[in-house]
Amino acid sequence: MHEAYYLLIGFFVVAMLYASVGHGGATGYLALLTLMASSVPPQEASTTALILNTVVSGLALVQFALAGHFPARLAGSFLVASIPAAFIGGLVKVPLWLFHLLLTVGLAMAALRLLLFQGGTASAGADGVKSPALPTALGVGAGVGLISGIVGIGGGVFLSPLLILLKWATPRDTAGVAASFVLLNSLAGLLARVSTDKLVVGSLWLPMAVAIVGGLVGSYFGARRLVPSALNRVLAVVLAIACGKLMLTLL
């Protein structure tokens, strides 16, 4: 019984943290289910994570857009190449243990860089920000989409650090772009599961409801209250959670 309560709290906290930086939280939910509810079938766990990824990132997109932090042109320049690349990535077969090991190292380095990053102060955080050239955005979108398709997540954990560390967007605009990225890639994943009869939803309705509330809270504070430097630190925590989930797959 205690594990059930901890799972509810965990889903709320993960959704709140991820939504505050425009992410859906799939890696966090999967890590929690692996640690606290190992009896849940993998297909059900991954479908639950994907559904929540869609809903929570959708809530975040609405909040950041209403607050004026959704640069649609910038988002589109990444999405136009990422969506077909994610589909191709879903068809690719690679040694996942090696891929997860490399991703864990990469995400850990990105988290450390964000913790040390001094860009994006408590003010607007827009100094030195310049959108990438279209060919660069298309290439990055395709690369991130391909990796996301192989790993089976929305891709926000890969795109967000690039946007901030390369100064392509402010932390809040980054969250808005990431939310659209995660939303559309997750929707594509859900549609693929529906078309192949792999959409398995079971007994996790209560944790899902709690996560949606957490997403509402986190997206509101991320879009309107948290200063850019705080958003960078939260994103670093999100990346650390993603690293933890990937490390679990290696054990």
Q: What is the pLDDT of residue 67?
A: 96
- Residue 169 main-chain phi, psi, to 5 deg: -160, 155
Closest by CA to 124, choosing from 181, 68, 178, is 68
- Residue 67 main-chain phi, psi, to 5 deg: -85, 5
- Residue 215 main-chain phi, psi, to 5 deg: -65, -40
Query: In terms of residue numbers, what domain contains 34?
Result: 2-250
Determine the Cα–Cα distance for residues 20 and 38; give it in Å rounded to an integer.
Answer: 28
Q: Report the pLDDT averaged over residues 110-128.
A: 64
% of the chain with per-residue pLDDT over 70: 90
Tokens of 168: 């392509």
Q: Report the pLDDT averaged over residues 148-169.
A: 85
Number of domains in the chain: 1
Amino acid at residue number 47: T
For the chain, what is the mean pLDDT?
85
Closest by CA to 22, choosing from 160, 158, 134, is 160
Which span out of 69-73, 182-186, 199-203 was modeled with the highest average pLDDT?
Answer: 69-73
**Looking up tokens 């930086």, which residue turns up?**
21
pTM of the model: 0.86
